[in-house]
């Protein structure tokens, strides 16, 4: 991987999200933090058994093959699960906040 590759991979992923959401290129704000992990950590010794982790208060989520397994299918399923959480949060923010407030 060349030194310029991480930035081009990150840009391509953001463009893919915009395209999947039907948005024009450059319409999403630039992420304030990103990190690219090479596939070298493909064999986790244990998995967490959850498809993704999403924090509605911090508006942050993580996904990856390491949560469910060590293959591309686990990575895809994890990404889809996080996308569903983000979409649900975006369209039902008030419901989530009310539910959380009632539980605490």
Domain count, the chain: 2
- 46 and 77 in a single domain? The answer is yes
- 91 and 56 in a single domain? The answer is yes
Closest CA relative to residue 100, chosen from 54, 60, 49, 56:
56
Mapped onto helix, strand or coil, the DSSP state of residue 23 is coil
**Which pLDDT tens digits describe the chain residue by residue (104 residues)?**
565 688 888 889 889 989 988 999 999 888 888 888 766 655 666 667 888 998 888 888 999 888 888 788 888 999 999 998 888 887 776 544 443 444 43
Q: Which residues have C-beta within 8 Å of that of residue 96, sequence separation ≥ 6?
A: 56, 88, 89
- 49 and 93 in a single domain? The answer is yes
- 58 and 83 in a single domain? The answer is yes
The domain in which residue 7 lies consists of: 1-36
């Amino acid at each position: 991987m060349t030194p310029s590759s991480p930035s081009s991979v990150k840009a391509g992923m953001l463009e893919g999200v915009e395209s999947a959401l039907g948005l024009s290129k450059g319409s999403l704000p630039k992420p304030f933090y990103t990190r690219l992990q090479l596939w070298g950590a493909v064999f986790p010794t244990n998995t967490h058994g959850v498809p993704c982790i999403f924090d509605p208060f911090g508006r942050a989520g993580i996904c990856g093959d390491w949560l469910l397994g060590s293959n591309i299918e686990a990575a895809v399923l994890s990404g889809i699960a996080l996308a569903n959480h983000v979409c649900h949060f975006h369209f039902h923010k008030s419901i989530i906040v009310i539910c959380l407030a009632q539980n605490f």
